[in-house]
């Protein structure tokens, strides 16, 4: 499969281009108000095909020394983690590297804001995925009062310049905003309370954030208006249906990163060596109980 990514080398494309405020993402709902789901069988079939293409893309990234940076942002419960897992579960973690930074240390707080993110940008032959990124400043930090409005305004003014430099260095920069509806976010956060496998996902910060839906909406709108540029645009992905948003985002990534299917030599397993003078060990191994 060969895909192409449109690029514009004109002076107009090189300068920051501020897009119009983003329109609300369309609801992933049917006419009767119910979410249009996809069957597990169809999902697994489609995901398998996309995983094959991701492996081809991975080989091309390595061969050609491409540098790919993917940013995932969105409200709590929007589906970022599941999407990243679906994206990376069949590729090499040495090529597809996920970055999810913890809260900054006191030393990092004293640095230039963007500084702690820069060392994680991709080198040749790497795909770096940010599970939340420098856009924390425009989102959670702004809404929760962890920074001043002056710091936010400075960030929004500076970010297009930094991203322009990132793209100019040869990085393919893809930015995704997963848009979940209030009703679906409520359902997902409530499921975390009831499911012992998910309680770790629900922090006190998540609860505070949940109550400030429209503060986040205003922060998102301001972020889009300032940083949705011609060279580093935002892509909005409606995420009420988890399986669909995973397939849609992976498919979109494959369209944005140019790659070709590299030829492979036929793989034949070599013959296994003969036993020779080897005898099975009588050592008393500590074997785990087979409970299942």
pLDDT in tens, 58-76: 999 999 999 999 999 999 9
Q: Is the pLDDT of residue 236 over 50?
A: yes
How far lies 88's CA from each of 82, 110, 167, 229, in Å? 10, 33, 23, 27
Q: Is the pLDDT of residue 28 over 70?
A: no
pLDDT in tens, 149-176: 999 999 999 999 999 999 999 999 999 9
pLDDT category of residue 109 using cuts at 50, 70 and 90: very high
Q: Which of 36-40, 70-74, 238-242 has the lowest mean pLDDT?
A: 36-40
Q: Is the pLDDT of residue 217 over 60?
A: yes
Burial class (CB in 10 A: 0-12, 13-18, 19+), 38: middle
Mean pLDDT, the chain, whole residue set: 89
Strand partners, 177: 73, 236
Pair 138, 155: CB distance under 8 Å: yes
Burial class (CB in 10 A: 0-12, 13-18, 19+), 46: middle
pLDDT at 165: 98
Structural domains of the chain, ranges and CATH numbers in brackets: 37-256 (3.40.50.300)
For the entire predicted model, the pTM comes to 0.85
188: Cβ–Cβ under 8 A, 6 or more apart, which residues?
77, 180
pLDDT at 49: 98
How far lies 269's CA from each of 28, 55, 90, 272, in Å? 47, 21, 22, 9
The residue-averaged pLDDT of 182-186 equals 94
Task: Count CA atoms within 13 Å of residue 115 on its CB side.
Answer: 9
Any idea what DSSP says for residue 3?
A: B
Residue with structure tokens 């839906």? 213
H-state helical runs in 110-168? 140-143, 149-168
Handedness of CA 184, 185, 186, 188 (dihedral sign): positive
pLDDT at 71: 98
pLDDT at 195: 85
- The share of the chain scoring above pLDDT 70, in percent, equals 88
pLDDT category of residue 199 using cuts at 50, 70 and 90: confident
Pair 48, 250: CB distance under 8 Å: no
pLDDT at 35: 66
CA 194 to chain centre: 26
Higher local confidence (pLDDT), 36 or 272: 272
Beta-carbon count within 10 A of 200 CB:
8
Query: Six-digit token pair at 172?
Result: 């393919």
CA separation for the pair 29, 52 (Å, rounded): 29
pLDDT at 14: 43
Query: Six-digit token pair at 252?
Result: 């979109």
């Amino acid at each position: 499969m060969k895909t192409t990514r449109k690029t514009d080398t004109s002076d107009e494309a090189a300068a920051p281009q501020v897009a119009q405020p983003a329109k609300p993402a369309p609801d992933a709902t049917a006419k009767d108000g119910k979410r249009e789901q996809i069957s597990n069988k169809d999902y697994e079939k489609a995901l398998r095909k996309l995983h094959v293409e991701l492996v081809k893309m991975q080989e091309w990234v390595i061969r050609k020394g491409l540098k790919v940076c993917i940013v995932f942002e969105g409200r709590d419960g929007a589906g970022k983690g599941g999407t990243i897992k679906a994206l990376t579960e069949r590729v090499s973690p040495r090529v597809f590297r996920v970055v999810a930074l913890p809260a900054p240390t006191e030393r990092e707080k004293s640095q230039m804001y963007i500084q702690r993110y820069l060392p994680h940008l991709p080198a040749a032959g790497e795909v770096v995925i940010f599970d939340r990124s420098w856009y924390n400043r425009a989102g959670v930090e702004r809404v929760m009062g962890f920074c001043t409005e002056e710091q936010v305004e400075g960030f929004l003014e500076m970010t297009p310049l930094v991203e322009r430099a990132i793209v100019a260095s040869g990085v393919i920069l893809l930015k995704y905003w997963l848009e979940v509806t209030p009703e679906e976010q409520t359902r997902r956060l409530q499921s975390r309370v009831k499911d012992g496998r998910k309680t770790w996902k629900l922090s006190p910060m998540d609860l505070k954030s949940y109550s400030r839906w429209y503060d986040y909406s205003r922060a998102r709108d301001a972020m889009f208006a300032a940083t949705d540029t011609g060279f580093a645009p935002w892509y909005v992905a409606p995420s009420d249906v988890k399986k669909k948003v995973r397939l849609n985002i992976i498919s979109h990534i494959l369209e944005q990163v140019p790659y070709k299917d590299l030829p492979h030599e036929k793989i034949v397993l070599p013959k296994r060596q003969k036993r020779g003078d080897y005898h099975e060990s009588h050592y008393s191994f500590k074997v785990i109980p087979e409970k299942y």
